[in-house]
Amino acid sequence: MSTLKIKRITTELLDVPIKRPHQFSTVKVSDKSFVLVKIELSNGVTGIGEGTTPGIWWNGESVETMKLVIDRYAAPLLVEEKAAYVEKLLQKLNRHIRGNAFAKAAVEMALFDALGKTYHVPVHQLLGGHHQDKIPVRWALASGTPEGDIDEAKRHAAAGNYANFKTKSGHDAPENDARRNIRIAAGLRGHSSIGIDPNGSWDRMTVMKWMDAFFEAGIDFLEQPLPPQDFEGLARLSSMKKVPIMADESLASVQDALRLVQEKAADIFSLKIHKSGGMKNTVKIAGIAEAAGISCFGGTSLESSIGTAACVHAYASIPNLDYGSELFGPAWLADDLVKNPLVIKEGYIHVPHHPGLGVELDEAKVEKYKRKEEKGALAK
């Protein structure tokens, strides 16, 4: 296996519809874009991975930038390299390509899938083995109205689909946002609870003013309430010891994790394999959190079953994943890209145990959702 080499890396842009419009802090979307990555090894095995992001507003990458970086820069660096030297290959990418964590994560995902298929083991075995067989899933409420969010959550809770929820905030002014979330929490009292995710759009004074009200409303956590660079502000909020502060956009690298620990700026780490450059880096970040006594939450970039499977393999290997996950991507999409989509039952997503990622690409779906024309100004 030491002579196993990477023979070819290809990419394709795909656009998949979602079941209902989803309101982020800056944009409302009705479909989800992906870059599909295929890595073919010298033994004929092909691994699949995907890159996706909430939008270029989130961290500066998009599926279009990922495709360009992979095609023009990453692929030439990796073709004919030894496939089993994963850490060495990742360091080579880091040395020659600055940033672009989402693109690197998509490449690493396809490589791990190919290696898992080659060795006939699930990816979690390549990451050290799994700690749990299933992971709780928290559904994100983003209908755009408090009434819509309350109704949606009650339906899911009554059906036994999901037990807990979080709201996507930041679209309104912070004061109005705070009131809206208190209203949602009150509407769900006795049924469930919520965490709040403003995507870094609130300010210190607003959060401090409303912290007691959030505590009394039973809010589970505040995910990235302040801008990513405001570590001092996050530390001040965490020191209030009211509602746990979760770091997301402030936490991308192992260096970010160490700084958050040193500054006592987070009670929970929101993990995402794309923002951290892959599964291996995500597991490293969780190890730093474990050493500091910090809990972890399995975040999502709203992946299809391909990326979600990669998340499940990584998160299942982490012992301090105390806050579950939000791996609802496959249930959120109106269709999927694999023949065997991951299934969420009774609020849990189960760890795949087939070789590689454990999902099989549906080429007919790839052809159906393949981007036929450019979007935006390039389409003119």
Q: How far apart are the first and last CA of the chain?
A: 49
pLDDT of residue 58: 84
pLDDT of residue 171: 80
The H or E element spanning position 90 is: helix 86-96
Q: Which residues of the chain fall short of a pLDDT of 70?
A: 1-2, 21-28, 375-380
> Which DSSP letter does residue 153 get?
H
> Topology of domain 128-350, per CATH?
TIM Barrel (3.20.20)
Active site members: 168, 326
pLDDT of residue 1: 45
- Roughly what angle, to the nearest 10 degrees, separates helices 101-119 and 305-316? 80
pLDDT of residue 59: 86
**What's phi and psi for 95, nearest 5 deg?**
-70, -35
Q: Is the pTM of this model over 0.85?
A: yes
> Which DSSP letter does residue 39 get?
E
Q: Matching CATH topology for 6-124+361-372 and 128-350?
A: no
pLDDT of residue 375: 64
Collect all residues with Cβ–Cβ distance below 8 Å to 338 and sequence separation of at least 6. 304, 305, 306, 359, 360, 361, 362, 365
pLDDT tens string 39-54 = 999 999 999 999 999 8
pLDDT of residue 378: 56
Pairing of strands 194-197, 268-271: unpaired
> Which DSSP letter does residue 339 get?
S
How far apart are the C-alpha atoms of 352 and 50, rounded to whole Å? 17
Average pLDDT, the chain: 94
The H or E element spanning position 176 is: helix 174-188
How far apart are the C-alpha atoms of 194 and 213, rounded to whole Å? 14
How far apart are the C-alpha atoms of 104 and 96, rounded to whole Å? 12
Spatial strand order of the sheet with 28-41 comes to 6-23, 28-41, 46-51
pLDDT tens string 236-260 = 999 999 999 999 999 999 999 999 9
Q: Where are the domains of the chain?
A: 6-124+361-372, 128-350
Alpha-carbon distance values, 251 to 9, 133, 220, 320, 335 (Å): 29, 26, 19, 16, 30
- State the sign of the Cα–Cα–Cα–Cα dihedral 329, 126, 115, 279: positive
Please tell me the total number of residues recorded for the chain in this structure. 380
How far apart are the C-alpha atoms of 40 and 9, rounded to whole Å? 6
> Topology of domain 6-124+361-372, per CATH?
Enolase-like; domain 1 (3.30.390)
pLDDT tens string 58-77 = 889 999 999 999 999 999 99
Count of CB atoms situated within 10 Å of the CB of 124: 25
CB-count burial class (<10 Å; 0-12, 13-18, 19+) for 374: exposed
Pairing of strands 134-136, 348-350: antiparallel
The H or E element spanning position 104 is: helix 101-119
How far apart are the C-alpha atoms of 205 and 279, rounded to whole Å? 36
Q: CA geometry: angle at 252 spanning 244 and 282, to 5°?
A: 90
How far apart are the C-alpha atoms of 91 and 45, rounded to whole Å? 23
**What's phi and psi for 50, nearest 5 deg?**
-145, 150
- Roughly what angle, to the nearest 10 degrees, separates helices 231-239 and 254-262? 50
DSSP helix/strand/coil, 110? helix
